[in-house]
Amino acid sequence: MRIMAIDYGDVRTGIAVSDLTLSITGDAFIIREKDPEKLAERLCIEAGQRDVEKFILGLPRNMDGTESFRAEKSRAFKAILEGKSGLPVILWDERRSSIEAHAILHASGKKEKEHKKSVDAVAASLLLESYLDSIKL
């Protein structure tokens, strides 16, 4: 069994997939797709190729815990993805994931201009790590 984490975006969506033991991120990449229906279809294909049995979808929250303006988009996408995949989609707090992803890329020597290429995949990896840590407890 594998779990796929999704850092949902309007243009670029970061994806991270666990290893079989649900210990670490085994694969991370970005899908460029603006249409939510097409994105969900692509995720179903990617999930099928990787034996994914569950999705973790980032739920944007403000630092005080309230939902951000993007939360409704995530909830709507959750419904689309569940309908197309038949798999469970768990909404997961993604506070600070993008900020931490930028910090990781900066620390690794990437220039700010280069961050766009991989920041969403790194954010999805952090989201997945957070979820995997919670189920190990």
CATH code at 74?
A: 3.30.420.140
Residue 15: name the closest of 49, 46, 61 by CA: 46
> For the chain, what is the radius of gyration of the CA atoms?
14
| Contacting residues for 94 by C-beta, under 8 A, at least 6 apart | 7, 58, 59, 60, 61, 123, 127
Task: Kindly indicate the confidence band of residue 122, based on its pLDDT and cuts at 50, 70 and 90.
Answer: confident
Q: Identify the domain containing residue 35 by its residue range.
A: 2-136
Average pLDDT over residues 9-38: 93
Give the pLDDT score at 102: 46
Question: What is the pTM for the complete model shown?
Answer: 0.83
Look at the chain and report how many structural domains it folds into: 1
